[in-house]
Chain A
Amino acid sequence: MIENLLTYIIFTPLLGALVVLFLPQSKTSSFKWVALGALGVTLVLSVLAVTSFDASVEGLTNSEDQLQLVDKAKWFSVELGSLGKFSVDYFVGVDGLNLSLLLLAAIVLFIGAISSFGIKQKQKGYFGLYLLLSTSVLGCFVALDFFLFYLFFEFMLLPMYFLIGIWGGPRREYAAIKFFLYTLVGSILILIVMIGLYNSVYDPVKTGMEAGVIENVSEASPEVISNIQFAVQSGQIESENIVKSFNMISMADDANYLPDSFLGKNSYGEIFGQSARWMAFLALLIGFAIKLPAFPFHTWLPDAHVEAPTAVSVVLAGILLKIGGYGIIRTAFSFFPDSAFHYAWLIGFFGLFSILYGAMNALAQKDLKRLIAYSSVSHMGFVLLGLAAMTVEGVTGAIYQMFSHGLISSMLFLLVGVLYDRTHDRGIENYGGLASKMPKFTILITIAFFASLGLPGFSGFIAELMVFIGAFKSSTVIGAIPYWMPVVATLGLVLGAGYYLWTLQRMFFGKFWVKDKAWRETLVDLNAREYVMLIPLVILIIWFGIYPATLLDLINNSVEGFTQLLILSVE
């Protein structure tokens, strides 16, 4: 195993970006190879991280013991006088909750880089920004210090803004600013909670060292830590020795909240007559739901997707949306499990509504890319429904759905890109009978459509099945969401089959017809570069559809630890 593996994974693309920056403008053709090379290294390292991951480690997800590949170093700390001090760490690590998403990010970013080879103008800027985006996305998935997480989470917006705004379609400027503003509102809500949280949470190990209980980190056994926690809770440690912390793992443990803190489980205050914990939970939930996106915060997504260049759409749908889901798991649910239970019905309801509303919108679209964008809203609804169930199956299904949707939606957007490259038109009604002209393309898009609508044999089926099992079990196991929610959600599957099959029929079957005669020449079947992007995705989608244990075995223990935490908080 390589030391500091995760650090290399995060910063290899940044190194690539610097190389791109310092290469002279004249070496136009080299930028894409630098990008591909850097992301190739990242992909190899990520696979290495997955293979070296020990799936047998058990434990609650609020203990640092179950984390693997941890890199932790002091970043900075500030004295606050009588209020103690606070410290920020460079802290990255993986467990079952983020491992699969790290792998997904590496795969999608690599394939996105291949698809970016079609970019012809301002290549230096494009690949530099793409690599910057890659670093912040990868960093976001493994960062376990809230400050670091927030850095990556916010920084992602800038390259994305420019990637959409400079290389996008006709309404790119509007789409770019809309995307930026929506997500920024979300991240401000997250920032508000972050300020409240780090003022409420202390780091037991560092506090122990500050108060002189222990000499160094290696002495911090679980007993010692719980002794320190007891000492803090009973007020035996002077307030100037308290070390406040951004540690996201510490934040998930009630014992790490200061006894008089506002967001502590036992001492919670009120904001506008509501429990502060509930409000904080809602702020985090909305913040990440905008990113996810869930109804009613989804309206930026179709615009951003339609205007973004293909590769950016792929990254957006394939990875960026998952940060929303992951954020809800890692922060909102982990920090405030009691509030999550309190609001489970609401989350489930909005999940359900997203499923149906997204699907019905997709049904009405005339633009193929918009259709797929709305299908993303619908599929992300399953993530919310699975999480709201608060059962092992539900949470597993949510994570599996994120992974599977990452692969499938990447493939869908790549396929739309293939069509758009040839005709610069995405209108569904402008095509007919493409199957006779582009048979191989039709085969692949049929696979992608079927995978997306949840046909058995593809990864999407496993994910949605798990979500449904989890949601049905929920009312008997934990009582988070009622029966009728998954029942109604099945409608989403029917609608999904509806819009995909209808699209297939309109665009691909029947007699060949296109709106513009000139397109007859340009519509040729897939080329080698497109095969290179698409075939691996097909293989992965089918592999994870017929052999889900590959992923399930990796994440199972952590998901159990996570749901254990939820159940403990309810009791």
Chain B
Amino acid sequence: MMLLQSNMALGLKEQIQGISADIAWLAPEITLVITAVLLLIYDLIFKENKSVGLAAIAFVGMAFTLALLFSGWGNVGDGRTLMGGMIRLDGAAVYLKALFSIGGLIGLVMMLRSKKKEQFFKSSEMLLLFFGLVLGTFLMTMSINFLMVYVAIELVSICSYVLTGLFKSKRNSEAAMKYLLFGAVASAVMIYGMSWLYGFTGTLDFTSIAFAEGISRVAVFPLSLALIMTIGGFVFKLGAFPFHIWSPDVYEASPTPIVAIFSSLPKLAALAILFRFVASLDLALVDWQLWLGIIAIASMTVGNFSALWQKDVKRMLAYSSIAHAGFLLVGVLAFSESGATSALFYGSIYLLMNFGAFFLIQVFENKEGQTSFNSLRGMGTKLPYLGVLLLIVMISLTGLPPMAGFNAKLYIFSSLWESWQIMGSNILIWVFIFGLLNTAVSLFFYLKIPYYMFFKGREEVEIPVSGNLTDKILGTILVLPLLLLFFKSDWLLNVLNSINFAP
């Protein structure tokens, strides 16, 4: 629609030429689509023992996507607008997409290491949805047009709803239903807000000058309302307060590899959209910093305090991910170059920590068949190596040295401090103080895991469990970066510094 209007002058031929020339830039996305199609075809052709073939296709497809992103790393330059102004490919988008493919690969490894791996690989449905979700997050990182944002978010959401409901149990159906209802309402509200903004400005491209000019002519109240509705949709995907209520149920019901994906990829993709969106909002026009500041404080506080009472590890991590969404928002609030860099740093570390945590939880889940805190009793003495790895992840999630979670927290709050020094806005210092004090609350529930593993014994005598060497190696690979990036955080930061997030 918008595309056609703005490009009418160009003529259809030029448009099609432009689009086909841009297609080369979307090679990673196209690879994802082709992989999904291949999975489908493979599933149709072969009848028996499909799991090996399906897993192989999925792995190769994801690895190839990652390779394409790495090879295309240097070519992006300052970024380019593609597809007639629908998406923008820049360093940040490529970095996030590479991060997501790494997450996708770890997710696939987790599925393979799951005790019930049959449910992932017996037919192509699950993998298809999984690739759809990853594709959606890829598109989210690049969208600069409201329609594209909506399509990308819906792609992620619909895949997520079905993924939650795909595994047949009563809990799954309930969680999927909750998720769907919440998601539908959030989407409806968001698109309603977007329609207002379109009405105000006459453009769907929120990075354009027309958009900035358009909203500057609108009265504060309707503009605020439209913006709040729109941002609400992003916050839903970010899983932050007040759109967080679905996450504990979904996390508890879904298989662990899927939860690991849910809790990281869509969150960071939503963060990217938020970054691009708020960059076009003049602070003098509306005080979005105040709204996001309140959302950040509320997410951290609600997430952390709710996590205190949980009896299930996955539920606990769900609430902790709500709190981390609040921390990620701090980077947006800082509204500066270093804010963006530190949010990307935080996001990368968060993704690593999350996959590490869920991977190790799954290892213990494989042994016990459940993820309650009680099932972890005495595991530290039985499986000391894996127990210590999980301890390291928990310490990193809390944000204590010597783990990278500390650097992430340090940098994101440093950027907030800098912005506060310049802007002097009160909400920033409140977020600063609340955010850091929340660490003390979070310590309490993160430490519950080592508490059960090392302090609590078991009454019943059992067959001794032994750790699997593959699990140990994979766990080490996931945890080692957390230690390395504490001691040499400049390795990652200097990469991030070379990226610019300016739309």
Give chain A's interface residues, CB within 8 Å of chain B.
75-83, 150-151, 154-155, 157-158, 161-162, 165-166, 172-173, 176-177, 180-181, 184-185, 188, 191-192, 195-196, 198-199, 261-262, 269, 271
State in angstroms the CA–CA spacing of A155 and B490 once bound together.
Answer: 21
Closest residue on chain A to residue B418 by CB atoms: A199
- The verdict on B283 contacting chain A, using a C-beta distance below 8 Å, is no
Given contacts A154-B400, A166-B454, A192-B432, contact A184 B494 (CB under 8 A): no
Residue from the list A80, A82, A155, A181 in contact with B440, Cβ < 8 A:
A181
| Beta-carbon contact of A81 and B337 below 8 Å | yes
Among the listed stretches B130-138, B287-295, B409-417, which one makes contact with chain A, having 4 or more residues with CB under 8 Å of it? B409-417
| Beta-carbon contact of A192 and B436 below 8 Å | yes
Q: C-beta contact mask, B397-433 vs A, less than 8 Å → 1, else 0? A: 0001110001000100110011001000000010011
- The verdict on B497 contacting chain A, using a C-beta distance below 8 Å, is yes
Q: Which residues of the other chain, B, contact A81 by a CB distance below 8 angstroms?
A: 337-338, 497
Given contacts A83-B338, A199-B421, contact A173 B440 (CB under 8 A): no
State in angstroms the CA–CA spacing of A566 and B489 once bound together.
Answer: 36
Q: Which residues of the other chain, A, contact B337 by a CB distance below 8 angstroms?
A: 81-82
| Beta-carbon contact of A162 and B401 below 8 Å | no
A-B pairs with lowest CB-CB distance, top 7: A76-B490, A151-B401, A78-B493, A185-B440, A154-B401, A78-B490, A188-B436
- The verdict on B80 contacting chain A, using a C-beta distance below 8 Å, is no
Residue from the list B444, B450, B487, B494 in contact with A78, Cβ < 8 A:
B494
Closest residue on chain A to residue B414 by CB atoms: A195
State in angstroms the CA–CA spacing of A76 and B400 once bound together.
Answer: 18
Q: Which residues of the other chain, A, contact B418 by a CB distance below 8 angstroms?
A: 83, 199
Residue from the list B338, B410, B451, B488 in contact with A80, Cβ < 8 A:
B338
Residue from the list A165, A261, A262 in contact with B451, Cβ < 8 A:
A165
Residue from the list B429, B440, B493 in contact with A271, Cβ < 8 A:
B429
What is the number of residues of chain B that contact chain A, defined by CB distance less than 8 Å?
Answer: 34
| Beta-carbon contact of B490 and A188 below 8 Å | no
Q: Which residues of the other chain, A, contact B454 by a CB distance below 8 angstroms?
A: 162, 165-166
- The verdict on B173 contacting chain A, using a C-beta distance below 8 Å, is no
State in angstroms the CA–CA spacing of A155 and B401 once bound together.
Answer: 6
Q: Which residues of the other chain, A, contact B429 by a CB distance below 8 angstroms?
A: 271
Q: Which residues of the other chain, A, contact B440 by a CB distance below 8 angstroms?
A: 181, 184-185, 188
CB B50 to nearest CB in A, in angstroms, measures: 44
Q: Which residues of the other chain, B, contact A150 by a CB distance below 8 angstroms?
A: 401
Residue from the list A158, A184, A195 in contact with B417, Cβ < 8 A:
A195
State in angstroms the CA–CA spacing of A81 and B443 once bound together.
Answer: 33
Known: A155-B401, A162-B454, A192-B433. 19 other contacts (CB 8 A): A76-B490, A77-B490, A78-B489, A78-B497, A79-B493, A81-B338, A82-B337, A161-B447, A162-B450, A166-B454, A180-B443, A180-B447, A181-B443, A181-B444, A184-B439, A192-B436, A198-B414, A199-B414, A199-B418
Interface SS of chain B: helix
Q: Which residues of the other chain, B, contact A196 by a CB distance below 8 angstroms?
A: 417
A-B contact count (CB 8 A): 83
Given contacts A81-B337, A83-B338, A191-B436, contact A76 B401 (CB under 8 A): no
| Beta-carbon contact of B437 and A177 below 8 Å | no
| Beta-carbon contact of A185 and B437 below 8 Å | yes
Q: List 9 A-B contacts (CB under 8 A).
A: A151-B402, A155-B400, A155-B401, A158-B395, A165-B455, A173-B455, A180-B447, A184-B440, A199-B417
Q: Which residues of the other chain, A, contact B489 by a CB distance below 8 angstroms?
A: 76, 78
Quick one: which of A158, A184, A185, A192 has the most chain B CB within 10 A? Answer: A184
State in angstroms the CA–CA spacing of A173 and B450 once bound together.
Answer: 12
State in angstroms the CA–CA spacing of A41 and B455 once bound together.
Answer: 32
| Beta-carbon contact of B494 and A79 below 8 Å | yes
Residue from the list B413, B436, B447, B494 in contact with A177, Cβ < 8 A:
B447
CB B381 to nearest CB in A, in angstroms, measures: 8
CB A521 to nearest CB in B, in angstroms, measures: 31
Given contacts A151-B402, A195-B414, contact A184 B443 (CB under 8 A): yes
State in angstroms the CA–CA spacing of A198 and B411 once bound together.
Answer: 11
Closest residue on chain B to residue A172 by CB atoms: B455
State in angstroms the CA–CA spacing of A176 and B487 once bound together.
Answer: 28
Residue from the list B406, B410, B437, B488 in contact with A76, Cβ < 8 A:
B488
| Beta-carbon contact of B444 and A177 below 8 Å | yes
Closest residue on chain B to residue A161 by CB atoms: B447
State in angstroms the CA–CA spacing of A70 and B454 once bound together.
Answer: 40
State in angstroms the CA–CA spacing of A75 and B491 once bound together.
Answer: 12
| Beta-carbon contact of A269 and B447 below 8 Å | no
B181-213 contacts to A, CB under 8 A, are none
CB B316 to nearest CB in A, in angstroms, measures: 16
Q: Which residues of the other chain, A, contact B443 by a CB distance below 8 angstroms?
A: 180-181, 184
State in angstroms the CA–CA spacing of A191 and B416 once bound together.
Answer: 14
State in angstroms the CA–CA spacing of A191 and B447 once bound together.
Answer: 20
| Beta-carbon contact of B410 and A195 below 8 Å | yes
Closest residue on chain A to residue B443 by CB atoms: A184
State in angstroms the CA–CA spacing of A78 and B338 once bound together.
Answer: 11
CB A463 to nearest CB in B, in angstroms, measures: 33
Q: Which residues of the other chain, B, contact A79 by a CB distance below 8 angstroms?
A: 493-494, 497
Q: Which residues of the other chain, B, contact A151 by a CB distance below 8 angstroms?
A: 401-402
State in angstroms the CA–CA spacing of A188 and B438 once bound together.
Answer: 9
| Beta-carbon contact of A155 and B417 below 8 Å | no
Q: Which residues of the other chain, A, contact B413 by a CB distance below 8 angstroms?
A: 195
State in angstroms the CA–CA spacing of A561 and B402 once bound together.
Answer: 34
Q: C-beta contact mask, B429-465 vs A, less than 8 Å → 1, else 0? A: 1001100110110011001001100110000000000
CB A44 to nearest CB in B, in angstroms, measures: 27
State in angstroms the CA–CA spacing of A5 and B487 once bound together.
Answer: 22
State in angstroms the CA–CA spacing of A198 and B429 once bound together.
Answer: 17
Closest residue on chain B to residue A196 by CB atoms: B417
State in angstroms the CA–CA spacing of A271 and B494 once bound together.
Answer: 32
State in angstroms the CA–CA spacing of A223 and B469 once bound together.
Answer: 61
CB B252 to nearest CB in A, in angstroms, measures: 25
Q: Which residues of the other chain, B, contact A181 by a CB distance below 8 angstroms?
A: 440, 443-444
State in angstroms the CA–CA spacing of A220 and B489 once bound together.
Answer: 28
Q: Which residues of the other chain, A, contact B455 by a CB distance below 8 angstroms?
A: 165-166, 172-173, 176
